[in-house]
Chains A and B, each alone.
Chain A
């Protein structure tokens, strides 16, 4: 397994790990991974959400402590994983998708932030030296920026460069740079610039771990690819021995059977929810309709706009375009109007957008429709308790204690509370983003069951998910998004995990029949 493009000296790898596992409860998020990066090599790490790649990055960066029994070495020196300090000092450096720049600080501040500023006597910062250090670092990456300007005004590629320069800065020399979805925030024009930076780092002998959903980038920049799936190591292959189809096959793997939602009859009746010309963060003109009792899925890689559809339709995010329920248009950014019109929304980030902390399951559950438990002007505790008990049973929350604080529940039970909250409000359409993200395995099936039962009673659903198996299991029809537009629609027998993944990764679905192979 030698690198084929750059030809590094056959010295020891800059990073070598073996037998790295990470368990969350009974779930093995990463199973005995063996992985290495050679000096000057770009080693791409690909796989789906939940494949274990972000877990691996978090183990490397010291956020997670791996299970005992692993071996790890940086530049031949054995190291202990699980400490952010140790990772940095041994030379493992990270640039995360969000970069983490402080907008109103200068370029120099941002580059030096997190490690020691050069100082003069009495600990005063030596600004001249600090600025020169920052400028030198950027220079080596091929950028000459005014290091005194605030980063707020920088273009995306310059921001990325600042992020990388910061990662390369430190008291100890860097050996490995992990780039986690570095192009997610970059326009297409910025990608070439990023690759220039990566090549400069390669030339300096830095090993780069490149994580991306965009396979074209992987083919352009990587020397080797490691594919992960469900925490398992699938393959490590030199890029020259792969083509797109083969790589997709490795990523996709076999389909898991989670059951299917009953096919919908009479879907050609007037849609309950109609979305026209939807523009929002990451969305560039999306149209679709949902008929009564239909479950429509939204698929797409990170950054495709998948994450914003539900929120934009509901009005938790700003949008333009028309959204109507039963023919009546709903004003943007007015959740209370959307709810009156018959929409409900469960966001991916339950703790922020859904759950009311400190309040009980009962109070969380009845919140959007308190009128049903009023007796005259006052809330009736008896009515409320009866109502809530019924719902706890229906969505199967255990222990069924309505007075338990909702924020102390497991992810699965939290999601069940939110499902019950919205189904109780009798919506026409329930919009759910990542219905089972962070949900314990046991609860997943029950959540599917509840959604299917509601769909059978004519409640419609829009489900966005990064988990294709889930979309296959839940949806009658799946829309595939790429760069903010719908690029394909799958339903019936054409709706398979492979077809969704293929469409997401290739970005366009030219001929749906092709996916029936």
Chain B
């Protein structure tokens, strides 16, 4: 090794590429990180021109936001573990369990709102506990562990539903919880905004959030920097299962009929919205990017639906969105490996 007395100027960083870094940042801002806003605006313009009378109505706004709420709640539920490097695939089936279980508690046992809430959330949290044990104690890959838990949750749901559509008779105030509207904004969409805000503050402005991000980016280095990474993994899996249960309760009251196959369909749109969101606003999964992703997806699907395109286009659309998001932005997603 040649070590000589050189002037202490740091040679490696005296390299030139700095001058137009600022302008490049601006271009990036428009090209990529905020590209979703342009896509959203373009869709709104196109649909407004093609189907002005049915697209530009308060009702469309209301139903679009309402439709996007469940996807949004689930996407945010997947996002938090993902920030810490854990992929929780069980979220939709846990939501499905919560939906069916809550409806069943009402229909079969005529329980009150508070009891249903408490029991459903705690029962759903058990799935989170199991995932957490598998991931931390047995070092099972989170994708595999939560896929297994997801299937178990579906099985339990099927046993409870027993092939029937459960029609609970919830307390009117509880029904409002899923169906209420403030102005033209459905309550569930307001939950999405609230949860996104809280998540944003936790991730950006708390010790916990910083530690979650560090754990997700490099678990080894995070542990060596004094972070109890296992405890964080347990925590995020618990939170995601509770968020899934919350989404399930919203779904139960919003739909009014609970079947074992309702919630599963939300997994893919939620993941697609999350991945799309991970390319937006900042690199990597983040709450406002996720919300933007959810809205883009919802507006696109609603517009196509109103134009009379076959309902089957939903999966095609979210699949395509996911693939395009992944393809145009390797950088935003590299953090997800």
A277 CB within 8 Å of chain B: no
The chain B residue sitting closest to A378, CB to CB, is B205
Instruction: Collect the chain B residues with CB atoms within 8 Å of residue A359's CB.
Output: 213-214, 217
Q: Quick check: A410 and B10 within 8 Å, CB to CB? A: yes
0/1 interface trace, chain B 232-250, chain A, CB 8 Å (1 if under): 0000000000000000000
In the complex, what's the smallest C-beta–C-beta distance from A27 to chain B, in angstroms? 6
Q: Quick check: A231 and B13 within 8 Å, CB to CB? A: no
In Å, the complex CA distance between A243 and B284 comes to 60
**Contact of A440 with B224 at beta-carbon distance under 8 Å, contacts A49-B1, A358-B217, A378-B205 already known:** no
In Å, the complex CA distance between A397 and B10 comes to 8
| B residues 1-54 in Cβ contact with A at 8 Å | 1-14, 18
Q: Quick check: A374 and B207 within 8 Å, CB to CB? A: yes
In Å, the complex CA distance between A352 and B225 comes to 12
Q: Quick check: B10 and A396 within 8 Å, CB to CB? A: yes
In Å, the complex CA distance between A421 and B13 comes to 20
B201 CB within 8 Å of chain A: yes
In the complex, what's the smallest C-beta–C-beta distance from B51 to chain A, in angstroms? 42
0/1 interface trace, chain A 279-302, chain B, CB 8 Å (1 if under): 000000000000000000000000
In Å, the complex CA distance between A398 and B10 comes to 7
A142 CB within 8 Å of chain B: no
- For B205, B222, B224, which residue has the most chain A Cβ atoms within 10 angstroms? B224
Instruction: Collect the chain B residues with CB atoms within 8 Å of residue A379's CB.
Output: 204-207, 210
Q: Quick check: A377 and B220 within 8 Å, CB to CB? A: no
**Contact of A336 with B335 at beta-carbon distance under 8 Å, contacts A363-B213, A410-B13 already known:** no
Instruction: Collect the chain A residues with CB atoms within 8 Å of residue B335's CB.
Output: 358
The chain B residue sitting closest to A470, CB to CB, is B3
0/1 interface trace, chain B 216-231, chain A, CB 8 Å (1 if under): 0110111111111000
Instruction: Collect the chain B residues with CB atoms within 8 Å of residue A363's CB.
Output: 210, 213-214
**Contact of A378 with B206 at beta-carbon distance under 8 Å, contacts A335-B223, A358-B283 already known:** yes
Q: Quick check: A442 and B10 within 8 Å, CB to CB? A: yes
The chain B residue sitting closest to A363, CB to CB, is B210
0/1 interface trace, chain A 254-265, chain B, CB 8 Å (1 if under): 001110000000
In Å, the complex CA distance between A464 and B74 comes to 49
**A258: which of B3, B218, B220 is its contact (CB, 8 Å)?**
B3
In Å, the complex CA distance between A410 and B228 comes to 29
A193 CB within 8 Å of chain B: no
Q: Which bracket fits the contact residues of B?
A: 35 or more
The chain A residue sitting closest to B205, CB to CB, is A378
0/1 interface trace, chain B 293-316, chain A, CB 8 Å (1 if under): 000000000000000000000000
A399 CB within 8 Å of chain B: yes
**Contact of A412 with B10 at beta-carbon distance under 8 Å, contacts A356-B218, A444-B3 already known:** yes
A77 CB within 8 Å of chain B: no
In the complex, what's the smallest C-beta–C-beta distance from A370 to chain B, in angstroms? 4
Q: Quick check: A352 and B220 within 8 Å, CB to CB? A: yes
**Contact of A27 with B2 at beta-carbon distance under 8 Å, contacts A396-B8, A442-B12 already known:** yes
0/1 interface trace, chain A 339-357, chain B, CB 8 Å (1 if under): 1100001010000111111
**Contact of A353 with B201 at beta-carbon distance under 8 Å, contacts A374-B207, A396-B10 already known:** no
Instruction: Collect the chain A residues with CB atoms within 8 Å of residue B227's CB.
Output: 336, 367
In the complex, what's the smallest C-beta–C-beta distance from B19 to chain A, in angstroms? 12
In Å, the complex CA distance between A257 and B5 comes to 9
The chain B residue sitting closest to A366, CB to CB, is B210
Q: Quick check: B12 and A440 within 8 Å, CB to CB? A: yes
Q: Quick check: B12 and A356 within 8 Å, CB to CB? A: no
The chain B residue sitting closest to A26, CB to CB, is B11
In the complex, what's the smallest C-beta–C-beta distance from A193 to chain B, in angstroms? 34
Q: Quick check: A413 and B2 within 8 Å, CB to CB? A: no
In Å, the complex CA distance between A308 and B335 comes to 30
**B224: which of A49, A230, A347 is its contact (CB, 8 Å)?**
A347
In the complex, what's the smallest C-beta–C-beta distance from A396 to chain B, in angstroms? 7
In Å, the complex CA distance between A381 and B227 comes to 21
Instruction: Collect the chain A residues with CB atoms within 8 Å of residue B5's CB.
Output: 257-258, 445
The chain A residue sitting closest to B214, CB to CB, is A356
In Å, the complex CA distance between A356 and B213 comes to 9
In the complex, what's the smallest C-beta–C-beta distance from A3 to chain B, in angstroms? 31
In the complex, what's the smallest C-beta–C-beta distance from A509 to chain B, in angstroms? 23
Instruction: Collect the chain B residues with CB atoms within 8 Å of residue A381's CB.
Output: 205
**Contact of A355 with B2 at beta-carbon distance under 8 Å, contacts A412-B12, A440-B11 already known:** no
In Å, the complex CA distance between A445 and B8 comes to 7
Q: Quick check: B207 and A370 within 8 Å, CB to CB? A: yes
In Å, the complex CA distance between A396 and B10 comes to 9
In the complex, what's the smallest C-beta–C-beta distance from A353 to chain B, in angstroms? 6
Q: Quick check: A335 and B2 within 8 Å, CB to CB? A: no
Q: Quick check: B201 and A411 within 8 Å, CB to CB? A: no
**Contact of A441 with B224 at beta-carbon distance under 8 Å, contacts A26-B11, A357-B217, A396-B10 already known:** no
A190 CB within 8 Å of chain B: no
In the complex, what's the smallest C-beta–C-beta distance from A285 to chain B, in angstroms? 25
0/1 interface trace, chain A 94-108, chain B, CB 8 Å (1 if under): 000000000000000
- For A353, A377, A440, A441, which residue has the most chain B Cβ atoms within 10 angstroms? A441
In the complex, what's the smallest C-beta–C-beta distance from B225 to chain A, in angstroms? 5
Instruction: Collect the chain A residues with CB atoms within 8 Å of residue B10's CB.
Output: 396-398, 410, 412-413, 440, 442-443, 446
Q: Quick check: B224 and A442 within 8 Å, CB to CB? A: no
**Contact of A377 with B284 at beta-carbon distance under 8 Å, contacts A354-B221, A445-B5 already known:** no
The chain A residue sitting closest to B209, CB to CB, is A379
In the complex, what's the smallest C-beta–C-beta distance from B231 to chain A, in angstroms? 10
In the complex, what's the smallest C-beta–C-beta distance from B222 to chain A, in angstroms? 7
Instruction: Collect the chain A residues with CB atoms within 8 Å of residue B210's CB.
Output: 363, 366-367, 370, 379
In Å, the complex CA distance between A6 and B2 comes to 36
Instruction: Collect the chain A residues with CB atoms within 8 Å of residue B14's CB.
Output: 398
Instruction: Collect the chain A residues with CB atoms within 8 Å of residue B213's CB.
Output: 356, 359, 363
In Å, the complex CA distance between A347 and B223 comes to 13
Instruction: Collect the chain A residues with CB atoms within 8 Å of residue B8's CB.
Output: 396, 442, 445-446
In the complex, what's the smallest C-beta–C-beta distance from A183 to chain B, in angstroms? 24
Instruction: Collect the chain A residues with CB atoms within 8 Å of residue B205's CB.
Output: 378-379, 381
| A residues 349-398 in Cβ contact with B at 8 Å | 352-359, 363, 366-368, 370-371, 374, 377-379, 381, 396-398
The chain B residue sitting closest to A258, CB to CB, is B3
- For B18, B217, B334, which residue has the most chain A Cβ atoms within 10 angstroms? B217
The chain A residue sitting closest to B331, CB to CB, is A358
The 4 closest A-B CB pairs, nearest first, are: A50-B1, A410-B12, A440-B12, A339-B226
What are 19 of the A-B contact pairs (CB < 8 Å)? A256-B4, A335-B226, A345-B224, A347-B224, A353-B220, A356-B225, A357-B218, A358-B217, A358-B284, A358-B334, A359-B217, A368-B225, A370-B210, A378-B205, A379-B210, A412-B10, A441-B4, A442-B9, A467-B1
17 new A-B contacts, CB < 8 A, other than A367-B214, A379-B206, are A27-B2, A49-B1, A230-B2, A336-B228, A353-B221, A356-B213, A356-B217, A366-B210, A367-B227, A370-B207, A377-B206, A378-B206, A396-B10, A397-B10, A398-B10, A443-B10, A469-B1
